[in-house]
Amino acid sequence: MAENNNQQGFFGSILSLPNDNPKKTIIVAALLCLVCSILVSTSAVVLKPLQIANKEADIKKNILAVTGLLTEDGDVNALFEQFEVKVVDLETGAYADIDAATYDQGKAAGDPEQSIELSAEQDIAGIGRRAKLASLYLLKDGDEISQVVLPIHGYGLWSTLYGFIAFESDFNTIKGLQFYAHAETPGLGGEVDNPKWRQQWQGKKAFNDNGELKIEVVRGHVDFKVAGAEHQVDGLSGATLTSRGVSNLVNYWLGDHGFGPYLKQMNAGMDKAEK
Ligand SMILES: Cc1cc2nc3c(=O)[nH]c(=O)nc-3n(C[C@H](O)[C@H](O)[C@H](O)COP(=O)(O)O)c2cc1C
């Protein structure tokens, strides 16, 4: 019998035990766990580069969409080549001399060395802290900048909304606004993705003639008879809190603690160039 067990080997001897044997139950369960964990970790490792590539492609697609350059059959990577990626120091508004292609603003925002903590008064977007350096995307027509795309994010009602806002060459007229990630309620706050609502942002002016930041999402509808309508967008009905969140996050990122210093410098440069 002992000789027979040796011939069967360890697994054979386990499998030949009756199914209600506790030793067999424990060993089979442990082997099953081992096989499953190897399968799960292998697929996680193998699929990771694909996930990263898909995420990058989605970001590029959204940048193209917010500038109006996304076409149904266009190659996203090829179309995205039109953009020049830059990194800006938010405090000074000057371009930073680092490799923009590899800079990860999201990662930097979580690193105390590369980010700053926002006071309650500053933090109207509900983000806690922000990276010192921010990425942006320039679309050029020859040497002239024709559009600039800025990444923005902030809290709505249930979630942080991540998106982009694009400006025309005056660094004041909005070309588009688009969110690529959020968890607001579909049909309520989720209407931030409604093309009709997004369309309203096109042509709005972020700053008034005195350079003051005026853009806002109003409660209800914009009254075009009243001065200031060029800075206003309709609120989302039944989603006042998400609407307020969007208004706040746009104001944060275009304000003095966000891209404000950069936009003002670029806008002043445009004025001089035109004179
Ligand atoms: C299930 C559920 C989901 C909701 N989702 C949202 C949402 O995504 N965004 C939002 O602003 N309000 C949402 N609300 C409504 C808010 O609780 C709040 O009533 C609303 O923002 C007030 O907007 P109103 O003054 O336009 O009605 C939701 C309410 C319920 C019951």
Q: Residue ranges per domain, the chain?
A: 2-59, 82-274
Q: Is the pLDDT of residue 235 over 70?
A: yes
* Nearest Cα residue to atom 12 of ligand 1: 239
pLDDT, position 246 = 98
Residues, the chain, total?
275
- Gap from CA of 192 to ligand 1 centroid (Å): 13
Distance of CA 166 to the CA centre of its chain: 13
Q: Which atom of ligand 1 is nearest to the CA of 238?
A: 26
pLDDT, position 1 = 47
Output 207 or 267, whichever has higher pLDDT. 207
pLDDT, position 12 = 86
Q: How large is the average pLDDT for residues 260-265?
A: 94
Q: Which atom of ligand 1 is nearest to the CA of 245?
A: 11
Neighbours of 130 (CB within 10 A): 23
pLDDT, position 7 = 62
pLDDT, position 6 = 58
- pLDDT digit string, tens, across residues 110-149: 999 999 999 999 999 999 999 999 999 999 988 899 999 9
Q: Is the pLDDT of residue 274 over 50?
A: no
Q: How large is the average pLDDT for residues 204-211?
A: 95
Q: Is the pLDDT of residue 2 over 70?
A: no
- Gap from CA of 119 to ligand 1 centroid (Å): 27
pLDDT, position 72 = 87
Binned at pLDDT 50, 70 and 90, residue 180 comes out as very high
* Nearest Cα residue to atom 7 of ligand 1: 189
* Long-range contacts of the stretch 80-84 (C-beta < 8 A, 24+): 82/139, 82/140, 83/137, 83/138, 83/139, 83/149, 84/137, 84/138, 84/139, 84/140
- Gap from CA of 152 to ligand 1 centroid (Å): 22
Binned at pLDDT 50, 70 and 90, residue 53 comes out as confident
Q: How large is the average pLDDT for residues 162-188?
A: 97
* Nearest Cα residue to atom 1 of ligand 1: 185
**Of 91, 83, 110, 54, nearest to 264 (Cα)?**
91
pLDDT, position 194 = 97
DSSP one-letter string for 20-53: T-HHHHHHHHHHHHHHHHHHHHHHHHHHHHHHHH
Q: Which atom of ligand 1 is nearest to the CA of 185?
A: 8
Sorted by sequence, the CB contacts under 8 Å of residue 210 that are 6+ apart come out as none
Q: Which one of 185, 191, 234, 248 would you pick to mutate in the ligand 1 pocket, going by the greatest count of ligand atoms within 8 A of its CB?
A: 185
- Gap from CA of 106 to ligand 1 centroid (Å): 28
- Gap from CA of 236 to ligand 1 centroid (Å): 10
- pTM (predicted TM-score): 0.85
Measured from CB, residues less than 6 Å from any atom of ligand 1 are 157-158, 184-185, 188-189, 237-242
Q: Is the pLDDT of residue 275 over 50?
A: no
- Gap from CA of 242 to ligand 1 centroid (Å): 8
DSSP structural state of residue 213: B
